[in-house]
Amino acid sequence: MAEQGDTSGRKRGYAGTWPPRIAAPVGGLLPSRPAFWPPLIETLRIWARAEAGAGRLLPWVPVAFGTGIAFYFAADHEPVLALAAIVAIALCAVAVLLRRQKFFPAAVMIAAVAAGFAVATWKTARSAHGVLARPMFSVSLTGFVETRDIRERTDRFVLRVVTMESARGTTKLERVRLSVRKGTAPPVGSFVELKARLLPPLAPVRPGSYDFSRDMFFAGIGASGFVMGAIKTAEPPAAGGGLRLRYSAVMQGLRDTIDARIRTTLEGDKRAIATALLTGRRDAISPPVNDAMFVSGLGHVLSISGYHMAVVAGVVFFAVRALLALFPVLTVGQPIKKWSAAAALVAAAFYLLLSGAEVATQRSFFMTAVVLIAVMVDRRAITFRTLAVAALIVLTVAPEALVHPSFQNFSAPLGQCRIMS
């Protein structure tokens, strides 16, 4: 508000705020003068042209790809896979044909949106399996134990169902997740017979909250429940469990061996935290310590992600390079830096498999792999390009990761790219 006053030179002046307050035109908050829009449109056009420049378009591709996945999860009904795939392929072909035209950036973004939508549709169709619709009691099950989690009070394992018998229905499930008394979970890879009470996957507690049933669907689990009575080990069928089951048994054996070795030197929550950092198994941490970690803001340390993967790859990289540098013949005539990067990549891949390959670990591994591969091919690893490539790989392999909590912190591994670049 301006006030009129006299200055020492007998001249009248005004004192007020800057910028001066101008009354808004009648009819709304947006300016109605035509002169306002051309500069705004021109500014947006300049920004879009700058982002479409050399090296700046790639970071926007995973954004558009993720937008297509978000459109899929927001759809009211399941899209037609064939139609979504044809549209995505056609738009990608159009984008390639327009690569020398000024409309190329827009064509790439539209094609990325369609590709994300098609990939999410394909992943859902590929993961389709039976899901329990209502509780079932005293169900006789036989199958192979695929995974096992050791928890504080109870154990939990995933059973790949071979046969399923129940008096109240003929629902066929592929996998179920069952809870048992602590210390009674069968070993991974064994063929067992049991009776269980099965429940449908847990729906969101309130609208918009975390959907556990979605994660169980993409994991191939159609029901959860608990075992009733004893678990009997039986003779497996002639077909066996397959290569995937043997791989799961080997990795679980490695985790158990590491946990047993840690158990000889540490006890209680110290052992549980050490096991979580090495193998990704966090179920043995007691609730008070787990709550204290999250309240203090340190809960992310227990989840194997960018920091852990960078430490493993960085230690192996520098250790191997330091050892090779002790030999002058190798230092002068051989690319020991590339050899060290290859060794670090192998170590990071092993750490990924050992930890269970969760979304956060996959994201960190892909970013680390891009950096290490860039070292091996004499290319500079650019931070945002590395982030974009990792995001595209994660979303292509697991489109459902877009709505997973760990994917929301995708910017966390930005710092790890500078370690070996």
The answer on 413 and 390 residing in a single domain is yes
User: What range defines the domain where residue 213 resides?
Assistant: 136-240
**pLDDT at 34 (0 to 100):** 56
Among 100, 126, 152, the domain-final residue is 126
> For residue 330, is it within any domain?
yes
Could you identify the residue written with the tokens 């997740």? 177
Q: What is the pLDDT of residues 135-180, one digit of tens each?
A: 888 888 999 998 887 776 788 889 999 888 877 666 788 899 999 9
- Report the range of poorest mean pLDDT among 178-182, 197-201, 353-357: 353-357
The answer on 209 and 312 residing in a single domain is no
**pLDDT at 383 (0 to 100):** 65
Split into its structural domains, the chain has a count of: 3
Enter the pTM of the model: 0.74
pLDDT above 50 (res 419): no
Quick one: average pLDDT of 31-51?
67
Percent of the chain past pLDDT 90, that is, above it, reads 21
Among 240, 262, 284, the domain-final residue is 240
For the domain that residue 198 is a member of, what is the CATH number?
A: 2.40.50.140
The answer on 236 and 152 residing in a single domain is yes
**pLDDT at 6 (0 to 100):** 54
Quick one: average pLDDT of 397-415?
70
Among 240, 265, 286, the domain-final residue is 240
Shortest CA distance to 114 belongs to which of 97, 135, 93? 93
Indicate the average pLDDT of the chain.
Answer: 80
Shortest CA distance to 84 belongs to which of 375, 399, 393? 399
The bridge status of strand 175-181 relative to strand 223-233 is: parallel
The answer on 118 and 146 residing in a single domain is no
pLDDT above 80 (res 331): yes
- Sign (positive or negative) of CA dihedral 250, 256, 258, 264: negative
- Report the range of poorest mean pLDDT among 11-20, 62-71, 177-186, 195-204: 11-20
Q: pLDDT band at residue 421, thresholds of 50, 70 and 90?
A: very low
**pLDDT at 271 (0 to 100):** 81
pLDDT above 60 (res 18): no
The answer on 232 and 142 residing in a single domain is yes
Exposure string of 46-75, with b = 16+ CB inside 10 Å and e = fewer, is: eeeeeebeeeeeebbbbebbbbbbbebeee
> For residue 274, is it within any domain?
no
> For residue 250, is it within any domain?
no
Q: What is the pLDDT of residues 77-93, one digit of tens each?
A: 899 999 999 999 999 99
Residue of higher predicted confidence among 276 and 300 = 276
> For residue 19, is it within any domain?
no
pLDDT above 90 (res 391): no
Distance CA 192, CA 184 (A): 12
The answer on 414 and 307 residing in a single domain is yes
> For residue 21, is it within any domain?
no
Radius of gyration of the chain (CA): 29
Shortest CA distance to 373 belongs to which of 409, 391, 348, 351? 348
Highest mean pLDDT among 1-5, 155-159, 389-393: 155-159
The answer on 410 and 312 residing in a single domain is yes
The answer on 149 and 122 residing in a single domain is no
Q: pLDDT band at residue 278, thresholds of 50, 70 and 90?
A: confident
**pLDDT at 269 (0 to 100):** 78
> For residue 154, is it within any domain?
yes
Residue of higher predicted confidence among 321 and 167 = 321
